[in-house]
Amino acid sequence: MRGYHAFTGCDTVSAFYSKGKTLTWKAWQQCIDATSAFKALSNPLNELTDDILISLEKFVIKLYCGDSEIVSVNEARKFLFTKIRLYRISPLQEMPLKFMHLEQPTKQVNIWGQAFDSSPDILSPSNWGWTEKEGQWQPIWTTQHSIWVVARELVKCGCKNSCRGRCSCRREGMTCTLLCKTCNGNCDNSSVIDREALIEDDIELDSEVLVDEGFLSLIIQPF
């Protein structure tokens, strides 16, 4: 239970957005593979094995995508990216089989598991999801770029007809994507074009640059 409690959110580890203990418990009942991972995580660990990472990845996918055929959190994130707000999306997989979110609960369980040891071998916070700033340890939320660096890539149009001269994606010199409300990337805007050639001061747009408000307040990887 220590592993489950720490991974799904405790006093020192962030919980999954909008996923409380009731929902994570139900997801666990539907993802039996997570049991062995939570059991292993309940004991002091010095490293995370591939088996633990794979099992917990399945658990996170079950938590956010139910009975889908998605096999990685990155695929789940891509799917949810086109359906709902970013802040509801599961943690990003930063490196092969490694969750940023998994480092902090592992560190916490390492402490709990040695609570009765007179000389506990505590893991260094700097190697397990924490960074020291001005003499205080703070959680590392992401190693990815801020949303402002990639915000341009989140442009999407709301064109009701064809995506031509008045399309906001075309005006930014970008192709339409699955984010676009109506066309979903299946339109006349199939190749990147010259943005300058399309800017006309007297054009009144029939589409807008739509960026979900959630994108502007959060980083790419919330956990």
C-alpha 107/C-alpha 105 separation (Å) is: 5
Q: What is the pLDDT of residue 214?
A: 37
Q: How much is the CA Rg of the chain, to the nearest whole Å?
A: 22
In Å, what is the CA distance from 31 to each residue of 34, 81, 154? 6, 23, 33
More confident site: 151 or 2? 2
pLDDT (tens digit per residue) in 66-100: 888 888 887 887 777 766 555 455 555 554 445 66
pLDDT (tens digit per residue) in 169-193: 888 778 888 878 888 888 888 764 4
Q: Is the pLDDT of residue 194 over 80?
A: no
Tokens, residue 140: 């590392």
Asked if 192 contacts 175 with a C-beta cutoff of 8 angstroms, the reply is yes
Q: Is the pLDDT of residue 208 over 50?
A: no
Asked if 31 contacts 58 with a C-beta cutoff of 8 angstroms, the reply is yes
Which of 49, 48, 11 is closest to 123 using CA atoms? 48
Find the Cα–Cα–Cα–Cα dihedral 108, 112, 117, 123, rounded to 10°.
-10
Which of 84, 82, 76, 65 is closest to 178 using CA atoms? 82
pLDDT (tens digit per residue) in 112-163: 877 787 887 777 777 777 788 888 888 777 666 655 455 666 678 888 878 8
Q: Is the pLDDT of residue 45 over 70?
A: yes
Question: pLDDT-based confidence at 198, cuts 50/70/90?
Answer: very low
CB contact set of 183 (below 8 Å; sequence gap of 6+): 157, 159, 163, 176, 189
CB contact set of 105 (below 8 Å; sequence gap of 6+): 3, 6, 7, 10, 13, 41
Q: Is the pLDDT of residue 209 over 50?
A: no
Average pLDDT of every residue of the chain:
72
Please give the model's pTM, rounded to 2 decimal places.
Answer: 0.57
